[in-house]
C-alpha cells in the first residue's frame, strides 16, 4: 500500500502555487514603467495611422 496523503497540505500547496503563478502574471502585466507604457501606446497609434492611411475607402463597411 502507498503512504496516506494529507489532503490539507496538498490543497494548501496547490493554492500557494496558483497564487504564485498569478503573481508572476501580474508582475508581467502591471510591473511596467511609464516609459514602456508610453512607447507601446505610441507604436500602436502609429500602426493605426499607417493602416488608416492605406484604406481605399473612408468607411470599411461601404464595400457593398
Task: Give 17-35 pLDDT, tens digit per residue.
Answer: 999 999 999 998 888 889 9
Reply yes or no on whether the pLDDT at 62 is more than 80: no
Please provide the size of the chain in residues.
64
Average pLDDT value over all residues in the chain: 87
Question: Quick one: cell of 13?
Answer: 500547496
pLDDT at 56: 76
C-alpha span between 62 and 56 (Å, rounded): 11
pLDDT at 16: 97
Q: Considering the entire predicted model, what is its pTM? A: 0.45
Specify the residue for cell string 508572476.
24
Amino acid at each position: 500500500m502507498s503512504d496516506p496523503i494529507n489532503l490539507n497540505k496538498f490543497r494548501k500547496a496547490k493554492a500557494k502555487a496558483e497564487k504564485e503563478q498569478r503573481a508572476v502574471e501580474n508582475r508581467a502585466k502591471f510591473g511596467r514603467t511609464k516609459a514602456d507604457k508610453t512607447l507601446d501606446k505610441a507604436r500602436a497609434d502609429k500602426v493605426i495611422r499607417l493602416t488608416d492611411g492605406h484604406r481605399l475607402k473612408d468607411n470599411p463597411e461601404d464595400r457593398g
